[in-house]
Structure 1
Amino acid sequence: MSLLSLIGDNIVISNEENLSVNAALDITCRKLLEQGSIEATYLEAIKQKHQEIGAYYVLAPKIAMPHARPEDGVNKASLQVTVFKNGADFESEDNGLVYFAVTLAAMDSDSHIQTIMALSELFQNDSDIEAIISAHTKEEVTDILKKY
């Protein structure tokens, strides 16, 4: 299964500045909530976990993968890509500002292994990450993601 089949039109390019953690998380889940792929409880679970243990979903400099447990409110396996043109501070001491986030909504712990593998491949490709961060349109982001 390609990443694009899970992303569909769930690409957000945000030009907002000085976002709070909660405001940034709201943006990373906006499309998934709008289409009913996740419940509001899923977003709240991410925020709650952040309060408890910090930015567990910031994987590397510039990159985050917000997610919670499937039972926290996933209705349909899906992904949302968010590009923060001005960076978002998720309070990750080790990794700094996030410019590229992929929100993961998985139906169960096993079925998203292929998705994680494809995302891992993408996250390791610095030139594609930089190209996504530099993109100005959803189409530009989509063209890059077609490879995965």
Structure 2
Amino acid sequence: MTYELPPLGALPDEAITIGAHAEDWRAAIRVVADALVASGAAEDPYGERMIALVEQFGPYIVIAPGLALAHARPGPDVLAPGLALVTLAEPVAFGHAHNDPVSVVIGLAAAEADQHVASVAGLANVFNDPSVIPALAEAASADEIRRLLSRAAEPGLS
């Protein structure tokens, strides 16, 4: 059975946190994990698994200047495919040589391995337009974030 991620422009309010305070990258990942939990996509242990991957492999999740895509492999703590987005009140360093500091963190919960790989690749393509990340970081409402994501996801615009 294949489960699709929700469209970027359809993120529920529970999956969006604006102006979060995080003292470091671990706290930033915990905030996005909390949004995945609140939206019903994951359970609490998922956040710690996302952190463990960065501890093991380094800041590979910082995929563009100012943007981290936090994720872990599918597991029993993923309840449904889901996305969450957090903007940070103050950017935090993840330790990436070129793309720090991070002001926008996207959380991805995938229920199947093939979906995980395809979702990471698809999300990375949405952010080919370098103006999208700063616009998201400055967004003042969940509706504005959804509008920016919908526009960025349209073919030919990113």
Alignment match of 2:64 (pick from 53, 60, 65): 60
Deviation (angstroms), 1:97: 0.6
**Distance change (3 Å), C-alpha of 1:114 and 1:55:** closer
Give the whole-Å Cα distance in 1 for the aligned partners of 2:40 and 2:150: 24
Give the counterpart letter for 2:19 in structure 1.
Answer: S
Deviation (angstroms), 1:112: 4.9
The answer to whether residue 4 in structure 2 is matched with residue 16 in structure 1 is: no
Report if aligned partners of 2:34, 2:44 keep a CA contact under 8 Å in 1.
Answer: no
Deviation (angstroms), 1:137: 1.6
Identity, in percent, stands at: 27
The answer to whether residue 90 in structure 2 is matched with residue 79 in structure 1 is: no
Task: Give structure 2 stretches of 5+ with no counterpart.
Answer: 1-5, 154-158
Tell me how many residue pairs correspond in the alignment: 146
Give the whole-Å Cα distance in 2 for the aligned partners of 1:114 and 1:50: 20
Give the whole-Å Cα distance in 1 for the aligned partners of 2:26 and 2:116: 25
Alignment of structure 1 residues 127-146 onto 2, 5 Å? 127-146=131-150
Alignment match of 1:4 (pick from 9, 13, 20): 9
| Deviant stretches of 4+, over 6 Å | none
Partner of 2:42: 38
**Distance change (3 Å), C-alpha of 1:2 and 1:33:** closer
Report if aligned partners of 1:122, 1:129 keep a CA contact under 8 Å in 2.
Answer: no
Report if aligned partners of 1:3, 1:118 keep a CA contact under 8 Å in 2.
Answer: no
Report if aligned partners of 1:41, 1:72 keep a CA contact under 8 Å in 2.
Answer: no
Over aligned residue pairs, what C-alpha RMSD do you find?
Answer: 2.1
Report if aligned partners of 2:20, 2:86 keep a CA contact under 8 Å in 1.
Answer: no
Report if aligned partners of 2:73, 2:116 keep a CA contact under 8 Å in 1.
Answer: no
Give the whole-Å Cα distance in 2 for the aligned partners of 1:89 and 1:109: 29
Give the whole-Å Cα distance in 1 for the aligned partners of 2:73 and 2:47: 11
Give the whole-Å Cα distance in 2 for the aligned partners of 1:102 and 1:64: 6
Partner of 1:51: 55
Give the whole-Å Cα distance in 2 for the aligned partners of 1:46 and 1:114: 18
Task: Give structure 1 stretches of 5+ with no counterpart.
Answer: none
